[in-house]
Amino acid sequence: MFSTTLLDWFALNGRDLPWRHTKNPYAIWLSEVILQQTRIQQGMDYWLRFMQRWPRVEDLAAASEDEVLREWQGLGYYSRARNLHAAAQQIAANGSFPNTLDGIKKLKGVGDYTAAAIGSIAFGLPAAVVDGNVYRVLARHYGIDTPINTTRGKRLFTELAQSLLPTDQPAAFNQAMMDFGAIQCTPASPKCVLCPLQESCEALRSGRIGELPVKEKKLTIQTRRFTYIYIRCQGKTAIRKRAAGDIWQGLWEPVLTDDCGMLSGAKLLRKDVKHVLTHRILLADFYLLEAEAFPALPEGYIWIDESELDQYAVPRLIELLHEAVFSNPHK
């Protein structure tokens, strides 16, 4: 009953999205990667831009990492873009997009959920997706209070979703689960009164809608401080590419320093600018140093024309710094 009711609901209420009008695995994979941690409306704009600029996976593979990161700018979680580019190169080297779950999972950055989504939608593979929407719908409907972020919980929900999947309609079922969780069984204020599953929903019957799904609290939030100096000298500024092993790998930033001596003559633009990431809170001070002669730079920095700054991909925190700098009148 659950699966049939869900598919009937989807036939009437499913979202009309451009990547649902194709079986092209590249287009579907691109949508799945972009929509991780991203709202659909924002993600759609990026998907359209990527598909227009790089219509084939071979085109994306041939691009430079800097080009991909620049096109990705504003979406955050830049490891997604780096993995996307690396996986495109894997596919191009192999000559075709993999059409098995194991093959899809070998692509850089592709886990169980993304592999199941691509496999079911592009190739009709009977693999159930399990994400936040699926956890919520199943936990509420079946009254499951096993924490979803435990090994036992992940296995339980994966097995349940797989048992409910109609093997002849895997794409429709998976898309129905995604949409039902996003439209009907939402995290806050779900539309229970109009829900076609209300008669069989255990959470509704027991008054536990707000309690399910259950998630164990394990996350420790760390705070990091940054001091950035935007140096302006003879129409140029200094930047460097961030290295591997830390946040924002491959993105560019102005001078980052803990040397108070470098702040001599610099103007404080903004203090304690807060930027929140998944596992940490960043607090940054922004300085502007306008120099007549080029100062010595720490290792790894280069001078570029200020007019070329928008050619370099930067994280959101540095976008805020640039806004502060360019709202400040030149000397």
Could you tell me the CATH number of the domain that includes residue 8?
Answer: 1.10.340.30
Tell me: do 205 and 100 sit in the same domain: yes
Total structural domains in the chain?
2
**pLDDT tens-place string over residues 33-81:** 999 989 999 999 999 999 999 999 999 999 999 999 999 999 988 999 9
Give the range of the structural domain holding residue 246, as residue numbers without chain letter: 222-326
**pLDDT tens-place string over residues 1-24:** 899 999 999 999 999 999 999 999
Tell me: do 175 and 227 sit in the same domain: no
Q: What contacts 24+ positions apart, CB below 8 Å, involve 188-197?
A: 190/140, 196/5, 196/8, 196/9, 197/2, 197/5, 197/6, 197/141
Residues 6+ apart with CB under 8 A from 316: 74, 76, 275
Successive 10-residue mean pLDDT values, the chain, 331 residues = 97 97 98 93 96 98 97 93 98 97 97 97 98 97 96 97 98 98 96 96 96 86 94 96 91 90 88 91 95 92 96 95 86 57
Look at residue 262 in the predicted model and tell me its pLDDT.
80
Residue 140: name the closest of 212, 192, 200, 87 by CA.
212
Tell me: do 302 and 322 sit in the same domain: yes
Look at residue 331 in the predicted model and tell me its pLDDT.
57
Q: Which residue has the tokens 């960043």?
A: 282
Tell me: do 124 and 246 sit in the same domain: no
32 is catalytic: yes
d(CA 300, CA 253): 11
The whole-model pTM stands at 0.82
Q: How far is CA 280 from CA 132, 219, 222, in A?
A: 21, 10, 4
d(CA 128, CA 101): 11
Q: Two tokens at 58?
A: 């071979």
Active-site residue (options: 32, 159, 216, 323) = 32
Tell me: do 159 and 276 sit in the same domain: no
Tell me: do 181 and 56 sit in the same domain: yes
Could you tell me the CATH number of the domain that includes residue 267?
Answer: 3.90.79.10
Report CA torsion sign: 119, 124, 126, 132. positive
Look at residue 260 in the predicted model and tell me its pLDDT.
75
Residues 6+ apart with CB under 8 A from 235: 305, 306, 307
Look at residue 330 in the predicted model and tell me its pLDDT.
63
Tell me: do 45 and 161 sit in the same domain: yes
Look at residue 118 in the predicted model and tell me its pLDDT.
98
**Domain annotation covers residue 331:** no
Tell me: do 244 and 276 sit in the same domain: yes
Q: How far is CA 247 from CA 108, 142, 189, in A?
A: 18, 39, 35
